């Protein structure tokens, strides 16, 4: 298998704790690459993602630098327009770039894979502008292949569901506040506690619209009263999206 990390460079890896960046972290260790891992903690990242990132770094014996960033101080992020992801990614990798330069890093890298559609991700424009490399995508590794390789490597994150940041639960054009993000994280933590693992709690006109894979909807309906009662303190109403995820 060809190396993923270029030789002769000190790489700053933007590490999220998800499947892709976890495998990239593992490969960096296996290749004895010269790299450092950075996790940017904002109100958009739930606590469990940060905990997973710290656990993965500890299991692979990789020092992890956490950068705390008040992402909502950027009015273009807070306004939540169509390009919110672009401005957010610029802020996050800009913060990594500043810290990485202090640490002597010469390149930035992220965990984008070959399954990610660049035409559907404004954040990728920001990555290109910042000259961020994507070793998994460059190697042609798809999400399914990364999951298989991660399972073979014994990484606990191999079967984690894809998890977009909390800001994606708030409709475009609706101002993002810490209160809305907190309610979203609290609601999703509650569903995790019930044993569900793949879902979204989307803000919808003061209420919560829940999305689950279609295969889970019968179980959701069986437990609907329990689910609704657990969320109603924070939302005007709780709705189920019958079309599924």
pLDDT one-digit tens code per residue, 87-136: 999 999 999 999 999 999 999 999 999 988 766 677 788 888 989 999 99
CA end-to-end span of the chain, whole Å?
35
- Looking at residue 161, its pLDDT comes to 84
Mean pLDDT of 39-49: 95
Q: H-helix or E-strand containing 13?
A: strand 11-14
Query: Is the predicted pLDDT of residue 64 greater than 80, yes or no?
Result: yes
- Looking at residue 147, its pLDDT comes to 97
Residues 203 and 174 sit within 8 Å (Cβ to Cβ): yes
Q: Which of 216, 212, 221, 210 is nearest to 245 (CA)?
A: 212
- Looking at residue 86, its pLDDT comes to 94
Query: Is the predicted pLDDT of residue 76 greater than 90, yes or no?
Result: yes
List the strands of the sheet with 107-109, edge to edge: 64-68, 35-41, 11-14, 107-109
What does the alpha-carbon distance between residue 95 and residue 132 come to, in Å, rounded to a whole number?
Answer: 13
pLDDT category, 84, cuts 50, 70, 90? Answer: very high
For the chain, the average pLDDT equals: 94
β pairing state of 207-211 and 200-204: antiparallel
Query: Is the predicted pLDDT of residue 34 greater than 70, yes or no?
Result: yes
Q: H-helix or E-strand containing 71?
A: none
- φ, ψ for residue 14 (rounded to 5)? -75, 110
Residues 59 and 73 sit within 8 Å (Cβ to Cβ): no
pLDDT in tens, 184-210: 999 999 999 999 999 999 999 999 999
pLDDT category, 67, cuts 50, 70, 90? Answer: very high
- Looking at residue 69, its pLDDT comes to 97
Cα 166 to Cα 43, 72, 114, 139, distances in angstroms? 8, 13, 24, 29
- Looking at residue 163, its pLDDT comes to 83
The string of DSSP letters for 132-192 reads -B-HHHHTT--HHHHHHHHHHHT-GGGGPPP---GGGGSPTTSPP-HHHHHHHHHHHHHHH
Mean pLDDT of 45-49: 94
Mean pLDDT of 218-244: 95
- Looking at residue 119, its pLDDT comes to 63
pLDDT category, 162, cuts 50, 70, 90? Answer: confident
What does the alpha-carbon distance between residue 206 and residue 226 come to, in Å, rounded to a whole number?
Answer: 20
Q: What are the chain's domains?
A: 11-159 (3.40.50.620), 177-240 (3.30.70)
pLDDT category, 37, cuts 50, 70, 90? Answer: very high
């Amino acid at each position: 298998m060809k190396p993923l990390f270029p030789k002769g460079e000190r790489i700053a890896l933007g590490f999220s704790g998800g499947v892709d960046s976890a495998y990239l972290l593992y490969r960096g260790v296996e290749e004895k690459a010269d790299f450092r891992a950075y996790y940017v903690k904002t109100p958009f990242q739930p606590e469990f993602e940060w905990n997973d990132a710290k656990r993965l770094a500890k299991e692979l014996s990789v020092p992890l630098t956490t950068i705390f960033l008040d992402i909502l101080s950027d009015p273009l992020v807070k306004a939540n327009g169509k390009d919110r992801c672009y401005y957010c990614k610029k802020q996050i990798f800009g913060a990594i770039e500043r810290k990485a330069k202090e640490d002597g890093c010469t390149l930035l890298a992220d965990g984008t894979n070959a399954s990610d559609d660049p035409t559907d991700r404004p954040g990728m424009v920001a990555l290109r502008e910042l000259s961020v490399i994507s070793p998994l995508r460059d190697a042609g590794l798809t999400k399914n292949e990364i999951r298989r390789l991660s399972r073979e490597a014994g990484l606990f994150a191999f079967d984690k569901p894809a998890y977009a940041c909390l800001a994606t639960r708030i409709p475009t054009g609706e101002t993002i506040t810490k209160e809305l993000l907190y309610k979203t994280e609290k609601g999703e933590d509650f569903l995790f506690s019930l044993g569900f693992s793949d879902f979204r709690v989307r803000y919808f006109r003061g209420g919560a619209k829940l999305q689950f894979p279609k295969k889970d909807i019968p179980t959701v309906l069986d437990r609907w009263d329990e689910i609704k009662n657990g969320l109603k303190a924070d939302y005007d109403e709780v709705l189920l999206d019958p079309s599924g995820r």
